[in-house]
Amino acid sequence: VTVVAVSASELVELYRIREVMEGLAARQAAERMTDQEIADLQATLDAHEAMIDESCGQAYYQAEGDYDFHHRIATGSRNTKLAQMLLGDLYYMVRMYRYRLSTSTGRPQRALGEHRGIVEAIAQRDGELAEFLMKRHINAARKNIERKIQEGVLII
């Protein structure tokens, strides 16, 4: 087992890299996912919404692998190299911080709404919009991380 530690500035830089890579994955997913994969992705978000409701809007935890929204987009891109980069060490490193920040006030509902917008763009086969929305989503997550670090809530 390899444990990788990152500094606060490195985590922010990882999110900047992730923003570009996941934007590309969303664009390609819009072009390449099957209708069934899109329906499955929408069903996943319905399950996520139920989970948020059960936690009274306080948390948005996603199981890893196929149940994870970002994992499904990466695999749906059908870009093997991109998926390998997103789902390797970067995925697990970022996932740890996503989990730690999933209870930020109001963030669960906002993240779910952002996810739904991305899926709608993918369903419409609008790669440009899917890419834009994914980048904006990851950018919002990065800003949340920066704010939590400044507030001392997230200690790295």
Residue 29 lies in a domain: yes
Residue 134 lies in a domain: yes
Residue 131 lies in a domain: yes
Q: What's the pLDDT at 123?
A: 99
Residue 97 lies in a domain: yes
Residue 96 lies in a domain: yes
Rounded distance between C-alpha atoms, residue 40 and residue 49, angstroms: 14
Higher-confidence position of 30 and 2: 30
DSSP 154: S
- For residue range 102-113, list pLDDT tens digits in order: 556 677 788 899
What total number of domains does the chain contain? Answer: 1
Q: What's the pLDDT at 125?
A: 99
Those residues with Cβ within 8 angstroms of residue 130's Cβ, 6 or more apart along the chain or in another chain: 26, 27, 29, 30, 118, 121, 122
Rounded distance between C-alpha atoms, residue 74 and residue 53, angstroms: 26
Query: Is 145 in contact with 12 (CB distance < 8 Å)?
Result: yes
Residue 99 lies in a domain: yes
Which residue type, as a one-letter code, is found at position 69? F
Query: Is 24 in contact with 77 (CB distance < 8 Å)?
Result: yes
For the domain that residue 40 is a member of, what is the CATH number? 1.20.120.530
Residue 3 lies in a domain: no
DSSP 126: -
Say what the pTM is.
Answer: 0.87
Q: What's the pLDDT at 4?
A: 61
Structural domain containing residue 137: 8-151
Residue 2 lies in a domain: no
